[in-house]
Structures are given as C-alpha cells and as structure tokens.
Amino acid sequence: MAVASAVLALAAPASLAAPTSHAAAATATANPAPASAGCGAAHAAVTRALEALVTRHGVPGAAAEVADPVCGRWTAARGVADLGTGRPMNAEDRLRIGSVTKSFTATVVVQLAAEGRIALDAPVERYLPGLIRGNGYDGDAITVRQLLQHTSGLPDHVESLVGEPVEDWRFRHFEPRELIATALKMPHPDTAWHYATTNSVVAGLVIEQVTGRGVEAEVRRRILEPLGLRDTYWPGDGTRIRGPHSRSYFPAPAGSGQRAGAAAPLAGWLTDGTEWNTTFGGAGGALVSTPADVGRFYRALSAGTLVPQRWLAEMRSTVPADPERLWPGARYGLGLISSPLSCGGVWWGHGGTVPGGHRALGATGPGGRSVSVVLTAVPPTDPAEADFRALVDGAFCAADRTHPLEETS
C-alpha cells in the first residue's frame, strides 16, 4: 500500500524474535460502549474488526479511537502492545504515524498559500532554484500543488532505500537534499499520479525557504502548539520513541530462523522494528503521535480551524489515485486521501506505515465523526488489508446514529 511510503516486506536480520503465543493472546482493552441509545453499533463493528486483525491475521496489537458529536469519544483495543512483556494494547500509546505526517506538512504549505506567501501553482524553481534539475527532471515544470498532490512526476526515494540491506540505513541520518538527490537519479515514474515521499521532502524545503524556519518548527508553531497536541513530536535522529509507546514489528526474513507454516501470517517469529532513525521520511513520514492527537488534528482541519474553508476546498480538490498504490475508489488531494464509504459519502484523512511495522490512519467523515486506527504491524495479506479498511468503514457507517448521517463540510 503506497500510503506506507515504504515497502511492506523488508529484508532485515532477525532480532528479538517473538513466539506465536503472545500474538495469539487477543487481550481486550475496549472501553465500555457509550450509554446513548443506538450508539453501540459502531463500537461493535470496530471491535469485531480489531479482533479479526489480531486473531485472524496475526497482527500483534490493534487499537482505535472514535470521536462523535452524538456518541462521545471511546476507544477499543485488542492484542498486545509489547510481545516481550505481553502488555495489553491500548489507544493511548505513542507510535510512529508514517505518512500521516504528509497531512501536517501539506497543511502548513496551504496556510502559507492562504497568507499569500506561497502560490500553489508556482513552479518549485521559484522557491528552490536549481534543486530539481538533471536526468530529465525540471523544477520549472513542477508546481507546489503537484508536490502535495503526487502529480509532480518525481520518483520516491524510499523505494531506492528499501532495496538496500536494512541495517545499512536503519540508523542513518539523512538530509532532505540528500534524499532528493537520490530520487533524481531514479527512473521516471510511468503513471501521472505517483505516490512519493520525495514530494513532501521538497515541500518541507519550500516551507523553510519561505519562512526561514524548518518544517519541524513551523508544524510545531502552527499546528501542534495551537491544538495542544502534546504527544506529537518530531524525533529527529532519536531512534527511540519517548514516553509510553507500543512496539512495532515486521516479519523476520527467510533464513533467519523464523518458524515456517504458522497458522497466521504474523503469528510466528517477528523482528522488533521500534527503534529507527526516521529522517529518511522527514517531512513526509517522521512524526510520532497518538490516536487522540491524530483525531484532534483531522477534526480541526475539517472544521476549518487550521485553514480557511476556501483553502480546505483546495486541499479537497482531488485526482484519481492509482488503485495499485492505494485502493479502488481512492482519490488524492493536497496531502489528503478521499475514500468512498459503503453508506455513501467519503472519509477524508491519510494513512501511514513505517518500515519497522507501525501502521496508522486518521480520518473524518459523515456527521462530524473521526476515527484513528493504529496497528503494531502492517496487515500482511490482501484480506488483512481489506479488514483494516473495513474497520474504518464500520466506524463511519454502522447504523448507530440518532439522526441521519450528513457529509461534513
């Protein structure tokens, strides 16, 4: 899934291999369902999907937070946050949110556009002269809007990194310009819409050029501090997650001693991928956060708190996304994914994955409801991925409202 901004199956030496028994212990940590009449259906749908991800597909831990104007805020969780200790999964832990970071970076770019400091349809060359040049790439032919929309024609530098042995780059520091230079040596994408973390890295440099401050400082000043997102931070070169957090896991590669033929794809021996230097993702994938903070961010964005409604409409002006890179029906705006719901309408948000295994998704949808989902490993199969998306759909579409669903503005 391209939202991951990284290959889902990485070759890495086995470390901290974990036995099947922990992953199979689907420990429930769900809060009680809201007391309001009719507000239990979404809770039941979400809990069933979490249960399936853990028991059917072998994801060690899964959790969700749902906030609703009628039903209030509630959380549900299954499995474990730490295979080593067996600590139950919960929806309060921090985790790496991967490409959800792209929505934060895009929001700052659009804020600067609303202030008249960036023109979305201006060429990148205006802000970063000489940066995008060579191998047929031209900064004069790429606009800021195209960066945020993944229609720039730039390749994804992450695809180059994941072709190398993981331990050669897992703990390395990368500079943004180094990542861009790597991308410019790669072949041109063969589709008009091509998901590339490189686009967000370039957008981060545009922010720095315009404001005189790095993207990290501007996201803190313009989003994290005003919204009180105290559990969201840029880790820099820090390879450990600060504060209470879930671990993340990816399958140990062939030949590393993992058990073959396990009943569930991830129920066998796993590699702990929690410690990682995420400067390789930078403005497109480095943030650490929590479900509550992610939900608060997307609700504020949808409400017009972070950008004026006119500019939110710009962010929601979409193009078709490659279904092989996302999924059928998905469209992409400016740092936002639009995805159809089975009950009509769409949800707006973003998903993200990091190579070590954390998976996150935040979205807002009909009736002002938001959902944030976190996993401690990437869904390993197409059916598992389908159940992950079904969880999000169930959170929005379960018939648990006391009023008709209406599309948010």
Q: Which residues are catalytic?
A: 99
Strands 137-138 and 270-272: unpaired
| Cα 110 from Cα 304, distance rounded (Å) | 12
Q: 100: exposed, middle or buried (C-beta count within 10 Å: 0-12, 13-18, 19+)?
A: buried
Residue 89: name the closest of 15, 30, 40, 49 by CA: 30
Count the neighbouring beta carbons within 10 Å of the beta carbon of residue 381: 14
| Cα 40 from Cα 139, distance rounded (Å) | 52
Burial 63-82 (b: 16+ CB within 10 A, else e): bbbbbbeebeebbbbbbbbb
Strands 331-332 and 137-138: unpaired
